[in-house]
Structure 1
Amino acid sequence: MTDQQTGLNLVPHSVDLSRQGEAFILTSKTPLAPVVDRTADWLHHWAQKTPDQVFLAERSETGWREVTFKQALAAVRAIATSLRARNMGPETPIVILSGNSVNHALLSYGAQYAGVPTVPLAEQYALITDAHGRLTYVLDKVRPTMAYVEGAAAYASALALPQLRGVEIVATQTDGAPCKVTPFSSLLAGDDGQDADAILAATGPDTVAKILFTSGSSSDPKGVLTTQRMMCVNQSQMASVLPFLRDRAPRICDWLPWNHVFGGSHNTNMMLAHGGTLVIDDGKPTKDLFARSVRNIIERPGTLSFNVPVGFSMLVQEMESNLALREAYFGDLDLIFYAGASLPQDVWTRLEQMAMEVRGRLPLMISSWGMTETAPATLMVHEPIGRSGVVGVPLPATQIKLRPDDEMRCELRVKGPNVMTGYFEDQAKSAEAFDRDGYLITGDALRFVDPEDPNRGLVFDGRVSEDFKLSTGTWVQAGRLRLDALEALRGLVQDVMICGHDRDAIGLFIFPRPEQVQGDNTSAGAVFDPHLQSQIETRLSAMAKAASGSARRISRAIILAEPPSLKDSEITDKGSLNPRKIMIRRADLLDRLYDNEDPALIRV
C-alpha cells in the first residue's frame, strides 16, 4: 500500500502474539518474499537486466571510479577462477585487512562466487601497532591462505607479522611491501583453465560466505559463520516489508565499515539485491574526515541514508548552514535509517523539518534490531512512527521470544533462517549461544511501546548483562540509565559508563568532549575543571530529582582525562565502551569515584 505521509509502498506492522509459559512469542503476519540461493544470483540477474547500471563507485585521483553490473560480474567470475586455480575453497579463508573499496567488494563477491570465506577485519587492527594483538588473535584463529590490503606500504607493519608468513599477500598498490606481494590485477586476469559456471554450481545456501568477528566486549572476539542463506534471506525479509525498494533502483553514499554486519552485509547486499548503486564514502563522522562525507554526499547523494546517531547529529549541524548539502541530501531521499544507538529526538525532529523544507514530504525514518549473529536485521520498523527509539516488530519468518521481568522489561531471544548456526571452531560458545528451544540468546532487553498493542513495536532497553546490584540488593538497569545520562549531559560528553556494582550508590565515569575541558587540570587520570564540573553537577542534579528511586539516581561522577583505549580493549572496534575492561584498568579511578574527599569528585 502507498503510505500517504511518505508516498512510499509500505507494509504496515502486523504481528501475532502468543504465550509459551511465561514468555511471549511474537511473529510477523507478512509472508516472506522469494529467496535466492546465493548473492551471485542477484549479480547475474542485474548484469543481464541492467548491465550498464553503476553498481560500485569510489572517488579516485581523477574523479570517480565506476563499475557497472556487467563489469562487476566479469571481474567476480575472473576472481573466482583465480581462487579456484589456487585450490582455494571453504577451508582456505581470505583475510581482508583494508577498509571499504571497490576492489574489496569485488574480492569479497568473487570469493563468495567460489565458495571461499572472507574475513573482513577492522583496518585499525592492522594500521595501529597497539591494536595488533587483536589482529594476531584472529590470524591465529582462522589460519588464512590469502590476505588482501589496498596499499602494501600502509600495511607494512601488519604484513610483517609472523602469522602472515607463507600467506599469499594480495595488494592493489604493491610498492613498499615488506614481503612478496601478488598484484590484485592478477586475480582480475582470471584463469582460462577453470569453469566459472561449475565453480558457482558447487556453492549453495549453506556455503559460508564470511566469518565476521564480533567486537569481543566481554571476551575474545567470536567468528560468526555467515552463510549465503543468512544474507540472502535477510534481504528478502526486509524487501517483504519495504516493497518500495523494488520500485526503483536505490542509491546509497555510505561510509559504514564492511567488517561490521551493518555496512558489510545489510547495506552492500541491499544494493546488489535491488540493482542499486553503492557509492563508497571515504569519509567518516569524525572531526578529521567528516568534510569528505559532506563533499561525497553533495556530489553523489543517495535515495537511502544509513548512519549511526553521531553521524546524523553531525549532518544536521552541518546542514544548518550548508544549503548545498541540505538540498543534495534530501532532494531524492526515501529513507533515513539509524542503528547502533538511539537517535536523539531533537535530531529526529530537525531531520523531519529539513526534509519538509527541501522536498515537501517526509522520508521514512526507521531503525531496527539485529546483531552479527542474525545477519543482521530481525526486528524492523516499517511504517511511519514519528519518534526515535523504537526498533520495530519481527521480520517475516523470524520468531521472537520475550521473557518479561517484574517491570515488563523483556529479555530477547530470536530464531529464524537469518540466524547463525554457530561460531567458527568454537563448539562450547556455539552451544551456550542457544536455549533448549533453539532460540539465540541475545542478552538484550526490550519493552513494548504499548503492552496492549504489540503492533506498535518494541523499544530497546539496554543489555541484560550490563545490569548489576547495589550493595543494598537493588537492581540497576545500567543500559537504560546510561542512555538517560547521555541525554542529560548532551553536548558535554562523548560517552559515559554507569558504575556501582556492590557499592551503595550509582556513580558515573564521564568521557568528556575535548573542547569542553578548559586548561590542563588533570590529577592522576581525572579532570579537575570547576566550570565543567559545575555544569555536569547541575544537569545530574536535575536528573536525580526526577529519579523514582535509588536504582535510577546517579549520586556521583568523575571526569576521566584519558579517552577509552583501543590498545587496552576499553573500546571495541564498533566504538562502544567495554565496561569490564575499563573497570579493571581504571580500578584506582573507580575507588576515587567513591572517595568523598577527592577534589575531582562531582557530588550530586
Structure 2
Amino acid sequence: MTGARTIPELVRSAADRFGDAEAVVDGDLRLTFADLADRVRRTAGAFAAAGVGPGDRVAVWAPNSAEWIVAAFGLLTAGGVLVPVNTRFRDEEAHDIVVRSGAKALCVQNGFLDREFTGPPGVPVIDLKKDGFLASGEPLERKAGEDDLADIIFTSGTTGRPKGVMTTHGQTLRLYAEWCELAGLRQGDRYLIVNPFFHIFGYKAGLVASLIRGAAVLPVAVFDVDRVLELVERERVTVLPGPPTLYHALLEAGGGRDLSSLRVAVTGAADIQVELVRRITTELPFSHLMTGYGLTEAGTVTASRPDDPYEAVATTVGRPCEGFEVSVADDKEVLVRGYSVMRGYLDDQKATAEAIDEDGWLRTGDLGELDDEGRLRIVGRKKDMFIVGGFNAYPAEIEGFLLKHPAVAQAAVIGVADARMGQVGKAYVVPRGRVTEAELIAWAKERMAGFKVPRYVEFRSELPLNATGKVMKDQLS
C-alpha cells in the first residue's frame, strides 16, 4: 500500500518505494521516481512563486509528455487544482474553459501540431518546453487533504457547453488503486500511454495508477502505429491500453516486430467485437484484456474480471468496482452511486442537481441492462452522443458551432458508421445562403477539434421536426 492520502503524497511515496527505478521515459529523457519527485517539488516552488496558492486553478493545454507530468503533479504539490484541456480544442473552445475555471495561468506546448496555443486576455501563458519555468522554483510541498479538490475536468453534454467535473484527491487514489488490481498492473511494468493525459483514462488510469504500482510511463503525444510498435519493441512495453482502434492497428501492422513483452491490454472507449477480443488475446501476446465502463463524473465504474469469457468481455463492460452500485431505471438509463461520484459541476448547481438525485444516484445518460451475473451491458446513449476514435462527440455542441456560420439556418448532427474511427459525424444543414460541403467542413476545421468536425454534410430544404419543434433524428439517414 502507498499510505498516501493525496496525489502529492503519492509522488513522494513512489520516490521512497521505487527510488532509482525508471518512472518516465520520454525520448532521450529518462527520470527515476526520485528524479520525478525532485522535479515535481521544484515545479511546485515555481507555481508558488508565480502566485498560485492552495485551491487556485491552473489549466494545462498540452500533449502527453514528461513536462505535462511534472507540471500537473507540481501544481498539485503547490496546493493547486489541475484543469486539463483537450489539445484538439481550438482557441475559442479552450479559452472558454480557462476563463470559466478561473485559471490563474495556462500551461501550453507551442509548436505541437504546428500550432501556437494562446491564452485568453489576462491569463499568463507558460510554455512547458521553452521557458525553463518547471525548474525555476525552490523545492516546496504544501499540505493538502484527501477531501481537497484535486482536479476539474471539463466534459461536454447535450447542452453543448462543457461542464467542469470536480473530484478530490481521495476519490482518485481509492478508485485507481482498485483499477491497478483489476488491470493487473505490476511494479516494474512499462506502460505506454497513448490515451491523452487530458482524459481520465490517460491521467488517472495512466499516470496515477503507474505511481501507485511503480510502473514506468512512456508518454505518446500523437498516435502513430509505427512509433508505437517501435517503442514496444525497443522499450519492452508490457502495458498498452487504448480504444479498439489501437488494437486493430496493431493487428494490421504488427508483423515483423517483436511484441512479445506485451501483457496487459485495457479498452472500453467504444463497442468491441467478440472476434477482436479473441484476436487481441490469441494473435497478440497479451495475456490479460480488461474492458470497462467509466465517465468523467465518476471514474471507472465497472470492469471485466480476468476469468470472464471472451463473449462477456466483448459484449458487457463488466461488474461494478468496489464501492459502486449500478442500477438501471425503467427507461433503461444507467444509474451509478458510490464514493467516486463527482463533488458536482463547477459553478453549476442546477446541472449538478439534474445529474445527481437526492439519494446520490448519478444519471449517466447511457442506456443499459444488467445480466444475471451482474455485468452491465451498454445498449445505447440517452444523451445524444457518438464516439469518434475513442473521443466523445456531442451533436448539440457541434450544431452550436455550425449555426455560427452565416450561411447555416438549421443544423442537425448524427453519428454514422466508419470502418476506421467507429463513428464520424454527419451534418444535415438547411442553408440560408450559398455554401458548399467542402467550404463548411473547412470552416468547421478552423473552429472545432478534429474529431468534432462532420465528415459529411447533406443539405436539406427542411429538417423533420416533431410537435415541439425538436429534430427527429431517427428520420435522418
- Give the TM-score range, shorter chain: 0.7 to 0.9
Distance 2:461 2:261 in 1: 50
Aligned with residue 21 of structure 2, among 53, 56, 72:
53
Q: Equivalent residue for 2:125?
A: 169
Distance 1:72 1:57 in 2: 11
Confirm or deny: 8 A CA contact 2:2 2:10 kept in the other structure: no
Q: Classify the secondary structure of the residue corresponding to 1:435.
A: coil
Q: Classify the secondary structure of the residue corresponding to 1:412.
A: strand
Aligned with residue 426 of structure 1, among 348, 351, 369:
348
Offset at residue 298 of structure 1 (A): 2.2
Identity in percent: 19
Q: Does 1:80 align with 2:44?
A: yes
Confirm or deny: 8 A CA contact 1:412 1:446 kept in the other structure: yes
Confirm or deny: 8 A CA contact 2:158 2:384 kept in the other structure: no
Confirm or deny: 8 A CA contact 2:154 2:163 kept in the other structure: yes
Aligned with residue 416 of structure 1, among 326, 329, 338:
338
Q: Equivalent residue for 1:102?
A: 66
Q: Classify the secondary structure of the residue corresponding to 2:15.
A: helix
Offset at residue 426 of structure 1 (A): 1.5
Whichever residue aligns with residue 149 of structure 2, its letter is: V
Confirm or deny: 8 A CA contact 1:208 1:227 kept in the other structure: yes
| Residue correspondences, number | 429
Distance 2:296 2:240 in 1: 20
Confirm or deny: 8 A CA contact 2:4 2:13 kept in the other structure: no
Confirm or deny: 8 A CA contact 1:97 1:148 kept in the other structure: yes
Confirm or deny: 8 A CA contact 1:90 1:208 kept in the other structure: no
Q: Classify the secondary structure of the residue corresponding to 1:278.
A: strand
Q: Does 1:342 align with 2:271?
A: yes
Distance 1:189 1:240 in 2: 37
Distance 2:344 2:177 in 1: 22
Residue deviations 1:366-390 (CA, integer Å, cap 9, x gap): 211111111x211111223213132
Distance 1:153 1:393 in 2: 39
Q: Classify the secondary structure of the residue corresponding to 1:219.
A: coil
* Structure 2: runs of 5 or more not aligned: 386-413, 429-434, 465-475
Distance 1:283 1:97 in 2: 14
Q: Equivalent residue for 1:595?
A: none
Q: Equivalent residue for 2:195?
A: 256
Offset at residue 140 of structure 1 (A): 2.3
Distance 2:47 2:276 in 1: 47
Distance 1:347 1:563 in 2: 34
Q: Equivalent residue for 1:539?
A: none
Q: Equivalent residue for 1:208?
A: 149
Q: Equivalent residue for 1:495?
A: 423
Distance 2:55 2:281 in 1: 49
Confirm or deny: 8 A CA contact 2:2 2:13 kept in the other structure: no
Indicate how the Cα distance of structure 1 residues 566 and 303 shifts in structure 2: closer, same or farther if over 3 A, else same: same
Distance 2:79 2:114 in 1: 27
Whichever residue aligns with residue 495 of structure 1, its letter is: Q
Q: Equivalent residue for 1:142?
A: 101
Distance 1:283 1:154 in 2: 9
Offset at residue 102 of structure 1 (A): 0.4
Distance 2:436 2:229 in 1: 39
Larger Rg: 1
Indicate how the Cα distance of structure 1 residues 54 and 568 shifts in structure 2: closer, same or farther if over 3 A, else same: same
Residue deviations 1:92-130 (CA, integer Å, cap 9, x gap): 3211121111011001001111220121212232xxxxx
Q: Does 1:396 align with 2:325?
A: no
Q: Does 1:70 align with 2:34?
A: yes
Q: Map of 1:347-496 to 2, 5 A cutoff?
A: 347-355=276-284, 363-374=287-298, 376-383=299-306, 384-387=308-311, 388-405=314-331, 410-448=332-370, 450=371, 452-454=372-374, 457-466=375-384, 486=417, 490=419, 495=423
Residue deviations 1:453-505 (CA, integer Å, cap 9, x gap): 32xx12111112349xxxxxxxxxxxxxx99x84xx747x8636699xxxxxx
Q: Does 1:190 align with 2:137?
A: yes
Offset at residue 155 of structure 1 (A): 8.0
Residue deviations 1:252-278 (CA, integer Å, cap 9, x gap): 112211111111222111111101100
Q: Equivalent residue for 1:597?
A: none
Offset at residue 228 of structure 1 (A): 0.7
Whichever residue aligns with residue 31 of structure 2, its letter is: V
Distance 2:265 2:115 in 1: 39
Residue deviations 1:305-337 (CA, integer Å, cap 9, x gap): 201111111111112xx221xx32xx2333211
CA RMSD of aligned residues (A): 3.4
Q: Equivalent residue for 2:11?
A: 43
Q: Classify the secondary structure of the residue corresponding to 2:252.
A: helix
Distance 1:135 1:98 in 2: 11
Q: TM-score of the superposition, structure 2-length normalised? A: 0.80
Q: Equivalent residue for 1:268?
A: 207
Distance 1:113 1:153 in 2: 26
Q: Equivalent residue for 1:298?
A: 233
Q: Equivalent residue for 2:460?
A: 588
Q: Equivalent residue for 2:185?
A: 245
Q: Equivalent residue for 1:323?
A: 256
Confirm or deny: 8 A CA contact 2:109 2:117 kept in the other structure: no
